[in-house]
A and B are shown apart, each in its own frame.
Chain A
């Protein structure tokens, strides 16, 4: 369900809209949960969406199994799960397919570089793709392939994982250094902290001696489209520097506002 559902919702091979029936019904059920609010029962959802009970129960169980819905503590009601955020583009603007890379106006990034002593990089997230869209010419390079394959080891990767934990995949996490977080529970706690603070950090996790701070860039619908990362030598850059975080946040907001990206206009 997960792979097929996501492929169909996002890939949209036929933009005219001949989605498989099950996906349409799944959307109807999600919409019904959103309308009725937390605690709606399966029978109420079946009635509101017009889907026959047996089919509705089956789909609801699949949606719960994949994290799009959660059951209340007495198991009789449903609420929207965090994974519904992945549908943000589809449910909101409908432009997820047309979405290109996030591209900050170069002048804004240059201005930010002028204010700090660290390397500043801009990263774009499209679906599950991670791309370096603006590299800092004056500082050590970070490798795009290492960033993409080991999301758990970098600040930019953790920011994406915080939003889409399923991208971590089923394989055991690989340690790049002795400080890389590979314990699933520790990573989950770290991602919770990222969600709470809106800032992702790494200290010696992707390479010894390197630390970084990343803040999200969001489009107007709230969807995560990229991030700004400040990278420096461990000890020189302080990852708990709230001034630096605030500075990055303010430039992230400006970068989002001036982005050439269709979904944010």
Chain B
């Protein structure tokens, strides 16, 4: 009899009295999201329909058809390498903290808290900026159908209504939220692609290549940041069905899908097909585009941006929930709605912050949008660099390193650090010191947070890195050993070490 057959036979002989080892993420609605819904979360976060309109204006200004195509391909490759690094984690654990939980597995609490701060700022910042843009497009679209929005009060009403809808959708349930985002994002993609394929006013002449210097230096970051957000599915590991497969697939495929759409948009721009759409996007009806086209475009853009804002706050809520479970943040943020199984208090908080920041941009601080976006970009690059380095360290720790991942990690690490340094230096040289200071300050915030925790509540740091760990119901009875970890929780451990509190399953 083989050892396997013996283990299986033995498992039936053991009466089951499983020890109460429970995944720390049990409270969330587990195993609800299917593959398509997980994909909707990631594609929704990138807001790729809106990028299909905005990215070509950068391409036309700075590039040639060839340089656009090559730079876009390079950006997709770069994001794919980041995705390969992230996939090393998504294949091995399902977490609600996304990259933050992953960075902990490879680099420990210091890097994890740094990435936690950067991710929180990234998702909140993106959500606010896209809420602002989406709200503006919505107000333009409302104006075109005769509903004029005037003054601070009108603007406030629109933004608060949008935020309330977003909060309601997200609290209602993870699956419902994903379906809504899928529908909205699919509609906006259809709108934009149709407008580019069948321009009402006919195609314009092929545009002349841009003459601005250092074109690639402008196109490459724009393309990479248009793809950023593809990793947002990683925050739903605890809630996806077969998470180790679906989340991994989503992370690897989203940059390719969005990259393909961007290449299509670049083709449409360089052949002159989307000339009318692009002019309408930048100048509205003043470009001579028909009013109906401008309206359709604004509806498409509003849908894409608002879906992106919703998806970003969705991801941020799971990060906050994860940190509250670890008690880094107040416990009430880990509360889960008894019926909808969503972290409703974390969601309401996140949407409230997003609404406040988005509305502030809309009623007067609109000029700060660029600065906010610059900070967000630095944050996302930092998170990617940390997760790339963490993937290499993590694989070495568990003894599963391969050459390919080490190479991907090295490329992302070097390129990302260079890009981050460039961002800070450029901000400084362009005498936008506040942005440079904010970036450096936020990077230091995580370290400072850890310093404070270590002095005041060192026990908290031992809880960092919760993920959907194996429960007795997942383990063949008799084949695993559960023991108490440093926090006193029962977890599946390696070989028996003969401690008195160890119990065999069953």
Give the residue of B91, B398, B481 whose beta carbon is less than 8 angstroms from that of A41.
Answer: B398
A196 touches B92 (CB 8 A): no
A91 touches B2 (CB 8 A): yes
Whole-angstrom distance between the alpha carbons of A155 and B5 in the complex? 28
Give the residue of A64, A84, A170 whose beta carbon is less than 8 angstroms from that of B8.
Answer: A84
Q: In chain A between 152 and 207, which residues have their CB closer than 8 angstroms to a CB of chain B?
A: 170, 184-185, 188, 192, 195-196
- A 72-83 to B, binary, CB cutoff 8 A, 1 in contact else 0: 111111011110
A81 touches B474 (CB 8 A): yes
A-B contact pairs, 29 of them (CB 8 A): A37-B495, A38-B495, A39-B481, A39-B495, A53-B400, A61-B92, A65-B242, A67-B474, A70-B474, A71-B93, A71-B492, A74-B493, A76-B399, A80-B475, A81-B474, A82-B474, A82-B475, A84-B7, A84-B476, A85-B476, A87-B8, A88-B8, A88-B9, A88-B12, A91-B8, A185-B341, A218-B12, A221-B8, A221-B12
Whole-angstrom distance between the alpha carbons of A41 and B244 in the complex? 19
Whole-angstrom distance between the alpha carbons of A42 and B248 in the complex? 20
Please judge, given known A-B contacts A41-B399, A43-B400, A75-B398, whether A222 and B245 are in contact too, CB under 8 Å: no
Question: Does A8 touch B at the CB level, under 8 Å?
Answer: no
Whole-angstrom distance between the alpha carbons of A221 and B32 in the complex? 34
Chain B interface mostly: loop
A73 touches B492 (CB 8 A): yes
Question: Interface stretch among A27-35, A131-139, A251-259?
Answer: A27-35
B3 touches A35 (CB 8 A): yes
A61 touches B91 (CB 8 A): yes
Q: In chain B between 11 and 57, which residues have their CB closer than 8 angstroms to a CB of chain A?
A: 11-13, 16-18, 29-32, 34
B9 touches A221 (CB 8 A): yes
A72 touches B3 (CB 8 A): no
Residues of B within 8 A of A61 (CB): 91-92, 244
Measuring CB to CB, which residues of chain B are less than 8 angstroms from any residue of chain A? 1-9, 11-13, 16-18, 29-32, 34, 91-93, 105, 241-242, 244-245, 341, 394, 397-400, 402, 469-470, 473-477, 479-481, 485, 491-496
B8 touches A222 (CB 8 A): yes
Determine the residue in chain B with the shortest Cβ distance to A65. Answer: B244
B479 touches A38 (CB 8 A): yes
Q: What 7 A-B pairs have minimum CB-CB distances, sorted nearest first?
A: A39-B494, A222-B12, A73-B491, A34-B3, A65-B244, A76-B398, A80-B479
Most chain A CB inside 10 Å of its own CB: which residue of B3, B4, B91: B4
Residues of A within 8 A of B16 (CB): 195-196
Q: In chain A between 29 and 70, which residues have their CB closer than 8 angstroms to a CB of chain B?
A: 30-31, 33-35, 37-39, 41-43, 53-54, 57, 61, 64-67, 70
Most chain A CB inside 10 Å of its own CB: which residue of B11, B18, B394, B398: B398
Question: Does A262 touch B at the CB level, under 8 Å?
Answer: no
- A 83-99 to B, binary, CB cutoff 8 A, 1 in contact else 0: 01101100110000000
Determine the residue in chain B with the shortest Cβ distance to A44. Answer: B399
Determine the residue in chain A with the shortest Cβ distance to B242. Answer: A65
Task: Give the number of A-B contacts (CB < 8 Å).
Answer: 157
A127 to chain B, nearest CB (A): 16
Residues of B within 8 A of A35 (CB): 3
Please judge, given known A-B contacts A43-B400, A72-B493, A81-B474, whether A34 and B480 are in contact too, CB under 8 Å: no
Determine the residue in chain B with the shortest Cβ distance to A84. Answer: B476
B494 touches A75 (CB 8 A): no
A70 touches B493 (CB 8 A): no
Please judge, given known A-B contacts A42-B399, A42-B400, A92-B9, whether A80 and B476 are in contact too, CB under 8 Å: yes
Residues of A within 8 A of B8 (CB): 84-85, 87-88, 91-92, 221-222
Whole-angstrom distance between the alpha carbons of A91 and B7 in the complex? 10
Residues of B within 8 A of A85 (CB): 8, 11-12, 476
A222 touches B11 (CB 8 A): yes
Residues of B within 8 A of A43 (CB): 399-400
Determine the residue in chain B with the shortest Cβ distance to A61. Answer: B91
Whole-angstrom distance between the alpha carbons of A75 and B494 in the complex? 10
Give the residue of A38, A73, A196 whose beta carbon is less than 8 angstroms from that of B469.
Answer: A73
B9 touches A39 (CB 8 A): no
A41 to chain B, nearest CB (A): 5
- A 219-252 to B, binary, CB cutoff 8 A, 1 in contact else 0: 0011100000000000000000000000000000
B398 to chain A, nearest CB (A): 4
Whole-angstrom distance between the alpha carbons of A70 and B473 in the complex? 11
Give the residue of B7, B17, B402, B473 whose beta carbon is less than 8 angstroms from that of A54.
Answer: B402
Give the residue of A31, A34, A71, A84 whose beta carbon is less than 8 angstroms from that of B92.
Answer: A71
A2 to chain B, nearest CB (A): 8
A72 touches B402 (CB 8 A): no
Give the residue of A41, A64, A79, A196 whose beta carbon is less than 8 angstroms from that of B476.
Answer: A79
Residues of B within 8 A of A67 (CB): 474
Residues of A within 8 A of B398 (CB): 41-42, 74-76
A85 to chain B, nearest CB (A): 6
B470 touches A71 (CB 8 A): yes
A34 touches B2 (CB 8 A): yes
B419 to chain A, nearest CB (A): 30
B7 touches A38 (CB 8 A): no
Residues of B within 8 A of A66 (CB): 242
Determine the residue in chain B with the shortest Cβ distance to A35. Answer: B3
Residues of A within 8 A of B5 (CB): 88, 91-92
Residues of A within 8 A of B93 (CB): 71, 75
Most chain B CB inside 10 Å of its own CB: which residue of A71, A184, A221: A71
Determine the residue in chain B with the shortest Cβ distance to A220. Answer: B9
A196 touches B18 (CB 8 A): yes
A202 to chain B, nearest CB (A): 21
Whole-angstrom distance between the alpha carbons of A88 and B11 in the complex? 10
Give the residue of A75, A76, A184 whose beta carbon is less than 8 angstroms from that of B31.
Answer: A184
Please judge, given known A-B contacts A43-B399, A54-B402, A61-B91, whether A81 and B476 are in contact too, CB under 8 Å: yes
B236 to chain A, nearest CB (A): 16
Whole-angstrom distance between the alpha carbons of A230 and B437 in the complex? 74
A39 touches B493 (CB 8 A): yes
Whole-angstrom distance between the alpha carbons of A64 and B397 in the complex? 18
Residues of A within 8 A of B13 (CB): 222
Determine the residue in chain B with the shortest Cβ distance to A92. Answer: B5
B441 to chain A, nearest CB (A): 33
Residues of A within 8 A of B479 (CB): 34, 37-38, 79-80, 84
Determine the residue in chain A with the shortest Cβ distance to B93. Answer: A75
Residues of A within 8 A of B91 (CB): 61, 64-65
Whole-angstrom distance between the alpha carbons of A31 and B7 in the complex? 10
Residues of A within 8 A of B469 (CB): 73
Residues of B within 8 A of A34 (CB): 2-4, 6-7, 479
Give the residue of B2, B29, B400, B491 whose beta carbon is less than 8 angstroms from that of A185.
Answer: B29
Residues of B within 8 A of A222 (CB): 8-9, 11-13
